[in-house]
């Protein structure tokens, strides 16, 4: 099963998204957005940038 983005609306009326792995575990979550369109833009940004993102170990 593939991962998926899930958009919800919180108690403050803000839109948030989570990225869930195929097993249902949350692997990333967003900040709150005032508009649903902004949350969708955030998802597109993750899709575009995550594939080529580097890993920086600051431990």
- The reported pLDDT for the residue numbered 52 is 85
Structurally, the chain folds into a number of domains equal to 1
Asked, for residue 13, whether it belongs to a domain, the answer is yes
Asked, for residue 55, whether it belongs to a domain, the answer is no
Closest CA to 6 of 36, 35, 50, 34: 36
Asked, for residue 57, whether it belongs to a domain, the answer is no
Domain holding 12: CATH number?
Answer: 3.30.160.160
**With pLDDT > 90 as the criterion, what percentage of the chain qualifies?**
88
- Read off the DSSP letter of residue 55: -
Asked, for residue 59, whether it belongs to a domain, the answer is no
Helix (H) or strand (E) holding 52: none
Asked, for residue 56, whether it belongs to a domain, the answer is no
- The reported pLDDT for the residue numbered 46 is 93
Instruction: Report the C-alpha gap between 52 and 8 in whole angstroms.
Output: 27
Asked, for residue 30, whether it belongs to a domain, the answer is yes
Domain of 41, in residue numbers: 4-50
* Mean pLDDT score, 17-31: 95
pLDDT in tens, 29-55: 999 999 999 999 999 999 999 888 899
């Amino acid at each position: 099963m593939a991962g998926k983005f899930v958009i919800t609306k919180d108690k403050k009326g803000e839109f948030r998204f989570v990225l869930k792995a195929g097993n249902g575990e949350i692997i990333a979550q967003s900040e709150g957005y005032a508009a649903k369109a902004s949350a969708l833009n955030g998802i597109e940004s993750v899709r575009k940038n995550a594939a080529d993102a580097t890993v920086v170990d600051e431990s």
